[in-house]
């Protein structure tokens, strides 16, 4: 027993120092003192002496810095240089582009929650709110999505004119160039509202404000280019598009075969230095109507007209539509969602050097330009459109499930529907928080390379899940297309968002953890960068400091992961109030676990991890769910910790923790080095997998929030276009919902009399009259029942057509024109 007590004292002291991340010197002193005191009190002198010798043998060489560098760090530096995979120029550019925000804290194993909570609450300015309540609301009221999708296959001319007049294409352009200069939050809010009424409209507005000429010009354009193009882009005199994707280069944008050869050509009698371009692009949004085309190509200078380098690399240019040889105007038809999208071609198209964005000095810098700008645009456009669609689904499906009855009950009462409603509510809450967090990061001046990938992937994936649940709850109502169907086009358009701006499969398996593990980790990127230090002494000094900091970091995360796993993350100082503190503790636990697994996976597999995409994807999922859960907690704090939102927060948080656990379990279960996997499982899940998905009871509470007016539902459906008008069925449903609920006790009273056989009529409308005449209901109740019955009948109705009506509007117009000419 004395021996065991002495050993325990040494282990507990070591664990406590590792848990709290004490310095090496503090560990040595604390552990040796604990061993000495407990050993003497327990009367175990020999054990004490042996342990002290072992502790000294470990501590002394490590504390003698010069000795440690020569005998330990120097050989390890040589080994590290040998095994570290050489980054390609493309990978190096991607890693150096962008910034690291709070996601870096999640990789630390010990997040500083005060850093998150100190961030200012994202809020719209008075001007931005006025734009949302004014022009954006007016634009939504102009939209007839059936006309857009079925008859015109385009936005109507008056909508195009309104969008241009009110500078919807100029939200990111500064006021000095005639733009609106909105915050990223306002940009997101506008897109969310537009996406609730028309996917075609929101996509059209998103592109000029995302990856495109305006964003590139703002960051890299010459003053002459800015002054010429930005005022015209702001008011829609120029319509931009950006051509990157081609038949053989999609997600692998660095492999584009499109090229430009530097040459001289006589133009209008003057010898002009320029580029002869050959390109084949597709899937280019706004291309059919674009007047200025951003083009990515690889630039070559075989005659060395610009310098000694022949392959200059990826370069970006702006071509006017009038450029001779440019083939443009034909359209793709993306899943019957007719936003303008089409191919662009050109062979031996000559353009002067002035078309290069930023001028000739920016030749070859195109990949860096794209990566830096894409991280900002991707953080806003697709997450915002997905979030708006999900919010609209929450409003529509909640109201419909309360109105639609089967077997005499509102379908919201059926547990299968309730389960779908809970998913819609919980995932919408989580995605809204995620979208808000990434927009706020952009407004703080960040270029969120990692979190923009998280937002794009998870917002669009969860939008796909919500679209499926929406279709399931609506049933045949959502299947039959027509003016009355507000869900079908959303369901059809989901794969578009999944595919564009980085296909989701590639985003998940390559980008999130691939960039996050190196960019967000506190030491890995710095260790890799230390290899490029030319001064050998300084290199060894830097590597030594990083190496032993990294080793201490790893040991600390192992101890923290194990300790918090044993306690179920129920102890420890953290942020939050009495309700949310348990959530922050869970995030503390899984942050340590993520950091531990990332270190082990990278340390054991090295460069091979890059090719273990399924392992990388699972660890990327862990980072994603931690970031999303953090975003939900920040949203909850920013909104004043409302009690009404707790079911939504709880559902979203428990779902994230359940998915986090499953991702970790999958990563460990499939780790190829089995002894390491066994050890990891002990450290990560010492008591087994204890997380559970949201309970049925919690789901019932979330579903109840969606099916009745309340403050939580109002916050959840913020920025949804709910103004009731002829072309906004969801708005009219939402307006009728209070009456539907008020009518429920009256309906029960009516049904009781009906079952008692008090009515002779068979038609329900006639039975209402009998009920009024017989005193079963009063006049106000009669009016309420009649109003609700008529409204509900309208909302559950579907469209039918004459066969001729289903042919396209254009086809019928052409036939009428041909008949008239005869």
Spatial contact of 362 and 221, defined as CB atoms under 8 Å apart: no
Structure-token match 């001007």, residue found:
127
Spatial contact of 652 and 645, defined as CB atoms under 8 Å apart: no
Two tokens, residue 151: 């008859």
In whole angstroms, give the CA distance from residue 382 to residue 426: 20
Structure-token match 């428990």, residue found:
654
327 Cβ neighbours under 8 A, 6+ residues apart: 344, 345, 346
321-325: long-range contacts at Cβ-Cβ below 8 A with a sequence spacing of 24 or more? 321/290, 321/291, 321/292, 321/293, 323/349, 323/351, 324/349, 324/350, 325/349, 325/350
Spatial contact of 223 and 361, defined as CB atoms under 8 Å apart: no
Q: Supply the DSSP symbol for 75.
A: H
494-499: long-range contacts at Cβ-Cβ below 8 A with a sequence spacing of 24 or more? 494/460, 494/463, 494/464, 494/467, 495/335, 495/464, 496/203, 496/334, 496/335, 496/337, 497/382, 497/385, 497/386, 497/460, 497/463, 498/460, 498/461, 498/464
Q: Which of 55, 501, 655, 781 is catalytic?
A: 501
Q: Which of 527, 491, 482 is nearest to 805 (CA)?
A: 482
Two tokens, residue 640: 């004043």
Spatial contact of 439 and 184, defined as CB atoms under 8 Å apart: yes
Q: Supply the DSSP symbol for 85.
A: P
CA dihedral (177, 183, 189, 195) positive or negative: positive
Distance set, CA 523 to CA 107, 257, 587, 599, 623 (Å): 10, 37, 21, 10, 17
Spatial contact of 294 and 242, defined as CB atoms under 8 Å apart: yes
Instruction: List the Cα angle 384/387/390 in 5-degree steps.
Output: 155
Cα 516 to its chain centre, rounded Å, is: 14
Spatial contact of 243 and 277, defined as CB atoms under 8 Å apart: no
501 noted as active-site residue: yes
633 Cβ neighbours under 8 A, 6+ residues apart: 116, 576, 580, 583, 584, 587, 649, 653
Reduced to 3 states (helix: H, G, I; strand: E, B; else coil), residue 401 is: helix
Q: For the chain, how many residues are written?
A: 822
- Cite the active site residues: 501
């Amino acid at each position: 027993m004395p021996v065991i007590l002495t050993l325990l004292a040494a282990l507990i002291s070591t664990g406590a120092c590792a848990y709290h991340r004490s310095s090496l010197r503090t560990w040595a002193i604390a552990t040796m003192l604990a061993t000495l005191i407990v050993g003497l009190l327990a009367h175990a002198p020999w054990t004490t002496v042996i342990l002290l010798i072992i502790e000294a043998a470990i501590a002394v060489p490590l504390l003698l810095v010069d000795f440690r560098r020569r005998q330990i760090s120097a050989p390890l530096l040589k080994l590290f240089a040998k095994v570290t995979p050489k980054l390609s120029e493309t990978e190096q550019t991607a890693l150096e582009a962008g910034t690291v925000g709070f996601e870096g804290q999640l990789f630390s194993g010990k997040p500083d929650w005060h850093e998150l909570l100190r961030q200012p609450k994202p809020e719209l300015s008075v001007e931005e709110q006025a734009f949302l309540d004014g022009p954006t609301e007016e634009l939504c009221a102009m939209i007839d999505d059936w006309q857009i999708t079925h008859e015109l296959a385009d936005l109507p001319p008056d909508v195009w004119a309104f969008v241009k007049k009110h500078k919807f294409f100029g939200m990111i352009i500064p006021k000095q160039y005639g733009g609106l200069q909105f915050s990223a939050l306002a940009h997101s809010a506008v897109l969310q509202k537009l996406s609730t009424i028309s996917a075609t409209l929101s996509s059209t507005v998103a592109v000029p404000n995302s990856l495109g000429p305006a964003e590139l010009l703002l960051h890299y354009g010459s003053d002459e280019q800015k002054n010429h193009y930005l005022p015209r882009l702001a008011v829609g005199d120029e319509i931009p598009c950006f051509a990157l994707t081609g038949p053989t280069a999609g997600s692998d944008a660095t492999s584009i075969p499109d090229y430009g050869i530097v040459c001289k050509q006589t133009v209008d009698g003057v010898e002009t230095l320029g580029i002869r371009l050959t390109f084949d692009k597709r899937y280019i949004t706004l291309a059919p109507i674009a007047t200025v085309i951003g083009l990515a190509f690889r630039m070559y200078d075989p005659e060395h007209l610009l310098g000694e380098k022949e392959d200059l690399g990826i370069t970006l240019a702006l071509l006017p539509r009038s450029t001779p040889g440019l083939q443009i105007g034909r359209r793709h038809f993306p899943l019957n969602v007719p936003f303008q999208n089409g191919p662009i071609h050109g062979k031996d198209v000559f353009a002067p050097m002035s078309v290069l964005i930023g001028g000739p000095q920016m030749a070859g810098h195109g990949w860096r330009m794209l990566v830096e700008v894409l991280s900002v645009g991707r953080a806003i456009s697709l997450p915002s459109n997905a979030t708006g669609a999900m919010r609209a689904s929450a409003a529509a499906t909640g109201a419909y499930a309360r109105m639609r009855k089967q077997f005499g009950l509102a379908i919201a009462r059926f547990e299968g529907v309730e389960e779908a409603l809970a998913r819609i509510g919980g995932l919408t809450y989580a995605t809204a928080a995620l979208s808000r967090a990434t927009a706020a990061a952009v407004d703080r001046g960040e270029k969120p390379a990692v979190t923009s990938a998280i937002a794009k992937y998870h917002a669009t994936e969860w939008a796909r899940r919500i679209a499926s649940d929406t279709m399931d709850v609506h049933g045949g109502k959502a299947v039959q297309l027509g003016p009355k169907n507000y869900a079908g086009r959303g369901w059809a358009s989901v794969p578009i968002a999944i595919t564009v701006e980085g296909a989701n499969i590639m985003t998940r398996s390559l980008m999130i953890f691939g960039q996050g593990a190196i960019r967000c980790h506190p030491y890995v990127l710095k260790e890799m960068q230390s290899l490029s230090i030319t001064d050998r002494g300084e290199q060894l000094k830097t590597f030594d400091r990083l190496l032993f900091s990294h080793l201490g970091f790893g040991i600390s995360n192992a101890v923290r992961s194990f300790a918090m796993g044993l306690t179920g993350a129920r102890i420890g100082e953290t942020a939050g109030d009495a309700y949310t503190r348990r959530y922050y503790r869970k995030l503390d636990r899984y942050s340590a676990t993520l950091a531990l697994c990332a270190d082990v996976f990278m340390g054991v597999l090295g460069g091979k991890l890059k090719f273990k995409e399924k392992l990388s994807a699972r660890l990327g999922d862990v980072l994603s769910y931690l970031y999303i859960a953090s975003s939900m907690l920040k949203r909850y704090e920013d909104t004043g910790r409302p009690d009404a939102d707790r079911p939504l927060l709880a559902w979203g948080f428990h779902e994230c923790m359940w998915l986090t656990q499953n991702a970790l379990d999958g990563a460990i279960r499939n780790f190829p080095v089995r002894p390491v996997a066994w050890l990891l499982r002990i450290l990560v899940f010492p008591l087994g997998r204890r997380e559970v998905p949201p309970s049925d009871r919690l789901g019932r509470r979330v579903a109840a929030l969606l099916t009745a007016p309340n403050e939580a539902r109002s916050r959840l459906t913020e920025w949804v276009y709910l103004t009731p008008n002829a072309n906004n069925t969801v708005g009219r449903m939402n307006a009728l919902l209070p009456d539907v609920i008020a009518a429920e006790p009256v309906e029960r009273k009516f049904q009781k009399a009906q079952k008692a056989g008090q009515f002779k009529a068979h038609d329900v409308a006639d039975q209402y009259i009998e009920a009024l005449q017989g005193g079963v209901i009063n006049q106000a109740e009669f009016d309420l029942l009649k109003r609700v019955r008529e409204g509900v009948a309208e909302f559950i109705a579907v469209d039918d057509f004459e066969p001729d009506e289903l042919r396209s509007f254009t086809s019928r117009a052409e036939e009428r024109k041909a008949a008239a000419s005869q």
